[in-house]
Amino acid sequence: MFNFHTTNESSIAELSDKNLILEDVSDFVDLLGNAGFQGANGIIIHKSNLKPEFFDLKTGIAGEILQKFSNYNQRLAIVGDFSQYKSKSLQDFIRESNRIGRITFVSNIEMVLEKHLNKYSL
């Protein structure tokens, strides 16, 4: 289920199945539990793991997921190309999420590992 990236006592669990779609918030809670149980202090998923509704902020899915990661004191990196989304509110959400750092949106896995893994956080 996961590929682990570990260095400097930090472990990030990358969801290995890029075709697995996380359907709802309970899927994210399960993911958090599984990764945390295996010692990960962060999770990497790919844009392909998300339903398109995630990127429609009116659905509230992104906010619910953000709240779960905050409640469990975990970090999430979402890897993909987000340039296709032209919604100003979504672009603001991505920018603000990246600024805060609980959930980050990056274009490739190397960015996550280079920027964050060595700092013991995502």
Q: What is the pTM of this model?
A: 0.90
Give the model confidence (pLDDT) of 39-84 as tens digits. 998 999 999 999 999 999 999 999 999 899 989 888 999 999 999 9
The full set of domains in the chain, from first to last, is: 2-116 (3.90.190)
pLDDT at 118: 53
pLDDT at 10: 80
pLDDT band at 120 (very low <50, low <70, confident <90, very high): very low
Residues whose CB falls within 8 Å of the CB of residue 80, separated by 6 or more in sequence, listed in order: 46, 47, 48, 105, 107
pLDDT at 119: 55
Phi, psi of 69 (to 5 degrees): -65, -35
The answer to whether 86 touches 57, Cβ cutoff 8 Å, is no
22 Rama class: left (phi>0) / alpha (psi -120 to 50) / beta:
beta
